[in-house]
Amino acid sequence: MVTRGPSSALMKELYRHCALYRIDWRKLFFAGAIMTIAGVMLQMFTLPYPLNMWFPSPPVTVSLDEPINGAMELISERVNESMVQQFQLVEAVPSVLLNSPVELNVSTPVEPERLAVPQTRKSVPRRRRKNIKVDTKSNDKTPPPPPVSHRLQRSIRSLKPNEALEYARKEIEHVPLVTDDAELYAPLFRNVSLFKRSYELMEMILKVYIYPDGTRPIFHHPHLRGIYASEGWFMKLMEENKQFVTKEPEKAHLFYLPYSARQLEMALYVPESHNLKPLSTYLRNYVKKIAAKYPFWNRSHGSDHFLVACHDWGPYTVNEHKELSKNTIKALCNADLSEGIFVHGKDVSLPETTIRTPRRPLRNVGGKRVSQRPILAFFAGNMHGRVRPTLLKHWRDKDDDMRIYGPLPVRVARKMSYIQHMKSSKYCICPMGYEVNSPRIIEAIYYECVPVIIADHFALPLSEVLDWNAFSVVVAEKDIPKLKEILLAIPFKRYLTMQINVKMVQKHFLWNPRAVRYDLFHMILHSIWFNRLNQIPIRQS
Ligand SMILES: *[C@@H]1O[C@H](CO)[C@@H](O)[C@H](O)[C@H]1NC(C)=O
Ligand SMILES: *[C@@H]1O[C@H](CO)[C@@H](O)[C@H](O)[C@H]1NC(C)=O
Ligand SMILES: *[C@@H]1O[C@H](CO)[C@@H](O)[C@H](O)[C@H]1NC(C)=O
Ligand SMILES: *[C@@H]1O[C@H](CO)[C@@H](O)[C@H](O)[C@H]1NC(C)=O
């Protein structure tokens, strides 16, 4: 035995003491006690328990070194330590960088940034890994109730922004199956498991840096009323957010260009000039300024930067800057796939909402029961764009079930308001205006009327995650003459399902005075995050 050597040496030493000095029994007893303790201490080195069970030691690396219990960890409901663990292991495997799914258009060719992981994390001493086992066992018995442990939070915070994004990208590949969730109604989503995981990872990881630069009112001045309110509400809620905003740009995963397309129009557009160049020049100069002042733009060529613009001209205000136009993530109400500016999978279709009373953005939300919706289909509005004249040509004053108007006539409005019409109709027709988008779509959802969208090439709002088939009807422009036929062909049961889904999806389209989980602010931010993750190359392990 290993312990023999030192033990017998100790005995000898004691004996030597006894021989040299006259010791009474009490002293001998004391010496015996010392010997026993020394023996026990020596034994400890041969036990399989970690030393830190007896000796306090800094717990720094503990959370990173828990052993993996196998593939089961991948299908855990909640985010827990094993996921960080999973990441650590994946990192250790030699990896191949694939092409990024979104190609960047760089004006100056630059070496693609290597998403390197610090060596220190890979080379963890084996001995320590073994020692941690006891700790894990006790953990397994009592899974921590909060969704995310502080330890995991700490581990994730210690990752560099690019590492954290890569971790998230990897995690999303291995989503646990969600069958039942109190807060999320699965039929509304293309893939509720994927959404839930991605959303949780956003909550855990995402940090946004808001450039303080830019003069008011074009920058930092949210406009909260009217049909372009979405860009204002997003700006307001983003700027006052505590959870996602960071003051340290080095820690940011996304950079927000806090301008308003609406304010840009009001400040710089010369009425009747039909010239948007002053607007896009202004924005180009802004981007040049921040690219010169900070290192972040050039680092990514703007691909981790985003803007949120609801005014119809949003997409046209980026034209003068190639990287801004090609690389930056744009959340746009005018999400027209046919113009080559909005790119599906990179840009985000921003829901257009009409806010009539900024102090009470949720006013009037709600609708009547299906049995109290006698009108089959309703539309009222101005004759903007190419679709509405066709709609009216075929359906105005043609059919009692089809209440299709131009601007709502006063004689009609006196009896029933626009909003009351929406609350009393089964289907609300949402034809595009000058541009593909229309605030009617979200309005219909607010008033629990199933939207019927007529706008070819329109990327539907938040369609990264939402399944619009579940709560809307999309009709091709060429099918306008068959509109009633198409609506009547939908079985009543299917209609009921869609109407329930409209009610369920409502909360994801609401501007709350203070943002709440899964509301419109968070859904937009999530879609931006989701598309940012799309840029991260998948590593092959
Ligand atoms: C992590 O998830 C796995 C898989 O579901 C589970 O067995 C384990 O108890 C979880 N650990 C913690 C600390 O929650
Ligand atoms: C990049 O820019 C060039 C020249 O302007 C253009 O031909 C090309 O299609 C662009 N590529 C992408 C992916 O946008
Ligand atoms: C959801 O996405 C995950 C990850 O891509 C995939 O494994 C899963 O099969 C998807 N679920 C459905 C119902 O499509
Ligand atoms: C970023 O690139 C532009 C154009 O190449 C250059 O003018 C600017 O100084 C660069 N910014 C920084 C911080 O180096």
| Domain limits for position 378 | 370-509
What angle (nearest 5°) sits at the alpha carbon of residue 373, between those of residues 371 and 376? Answer: 120
83-92, 113-122, 423-432: range with highest mean pLDDT: 423-432
Cα-to-centroid distance, 142 and ligand 1 (Å): 9
Cα-to-centroid distance, 341 and ligand 2 (Å): 12
Give me the number of domains the chain comprises.
Answer: 2
Q: Do 390 and 427 lie in a common domain?
A: yes
Residue nearest atom 12 of ligand 3, based on CA coordinates:
191
Indicate whether 293 pLDDT > 90: yes
Residue 436 domain-assigned (yes or no)? yes
Indicate whether 26 pLDDT > 90: no
What pLDDT shows up at residue 171?
Answer: 87
Residue 119 domain-assigned (yes or no)? no
CB atoms closer than 10 angstroms to residue 54: 11
Q: Do 350 and 224 lie in a common domain?
A: yes
C-beta separation of 218 from 260 below 8 A: yes
Indicate whether 347 pLDDT > 50: yes
Mean pLDDT calculated for residue range 246-270: 96
Task: Find the residues whose C-beta lies inside 6 A of ligand 1.
Answer: 72-73, 76, 80-82, 139-140, 143-144
| pLDDT, tens digit, 9 for 90 and up, residues 441-457 | 999 999 999 999 999 99
Q: Do 328 and 390 lie in a common domain?
A: no
Any idea which ligand is nearest the CA of 105?
A: 2
Range with the poorest average pLDDT among 86-90, 328-332, 421-425: 86-90
Residue 133 domain-assigned (yes or no)? no
Q: Do 226 and 267 lie in a common domain?
A: yes
Any idea which ligand is nearest the CA of 100?
A: 2
H-type alpha helices, 21-93: 25-44, 81-92
**Is the CB of residue 301 below 6 angstroms from any atom belonging to ligand 2?**
no
Any idea which ligand is nearest the CA of 197?
A: 3
Q: How far is 265 from 278, CA to CA, in rounded Å? A: 9
**Is the CB of residue 193 below 6 angstroms from any atom belonging to ligand 3?**
yes
Q: Do 400 and 475 lie in a common domain?
A: yes
Q: Do 322 and 393 lie in a common domain?
A: no
Q: Do 305 and 417 lie in a common domain?
A: no
List the CATH number of the domain containing 456: 3.40.50.2000
Q: Do 377 and 318 lie in a common domain?
A: no
Q: Which of 533, 110, 159, 538 minimizes the C-alpha distance to 297?
A: 110
Any idea which ligand is nearest the CA of 538?
A: 3
What angle (nearest 5°) sits at the alpha carbon of residue 273, between those of residues 272 and 279? Answer: 120
**Is the CB of residue 291 below 6 angstroms from any atom belonging to ligand 4?**
yes
| pLDDT, tens digit, 9 for 90 and up, residues 138-188 | 333 443 344 567 787 788 888 999 999 999 998 888 888 877 788 999 999
Cα-to-centroid distance, 322 and ligand 2 (Å): 9
Range with the poorest average pLDDT among 110-114, 139-143, 461-465: 110-114
> According to the 3-state scheme, what is the secondary structure of 239-283?
HCCCCCECCCHHHCCEEECCECHHHHHHHHCCCCCCCCHHHHHHH
C-beta separation of 203 from 156 below 8 A: no
Q: Do 190 and 302 lie in a common domain?
A: yes
Q: Do 521 and 484 lie in a common domain?
A: no
Residue nearest atom 9 of ligand 1, based on CA coordinates:
140
Q: How confident is the model at residue 76 (pLDDT cuts 50, 70, 90)?
A: very low
Q: Do 314 and 403 lie in a common domain?
A: no
| pLDDT, tens digit, 9 for 90 and up, residues 408-436 | 999 999 999 999 999 999 999 999 999 99
**Closest ligand 3 atom to the C-alpha of 173?**
4
Q: Cα dist. 360→365, 510, 518 in Å?
A: 10, 11, 19
Q: How confident is the model at residue 54 (pLDDT cuts 50, 70, 90)?
A: very low
For a ligand 4 pocket test, name from 298, 321, 323, 327 the mutation site with the most ligand atoms within 8 angstroms of its C-beta: 298
Residue 80 domain-assigned (yes or no)? no
Residue 522 domain-assigned (yes or no)? yes
Residue nearest atom 5 of ligand 3, based on CA coordinates:
173
79-88, 113-122, 238-247: range with highest mean pLDDT: 238-247
For a ligand 2 pocket test, name from 99, 102, 103, 105 the mutation site with the most ligand atoms within 8 angstroms of its C-beta: 105
Residue 46 domain-assigned (yes or no)? no
Residue 415 domain-assigned (yes or no)? yes
The DSSP bridge partners found for residue 380 are none
Residue 92 domain-assigned (yes or no)? no
Per the model's pLDDT, the better-predicted residue between 71 and 519 turns out to be 519
75-84, 112-121, 126-135, 477-486: range with highest mean pLDDT: 477-486
Q: Do 206 and 331 lie in a common domain?
A: yes
Cα-to-centroid distance, 63 and ligand 1 (Å): 13
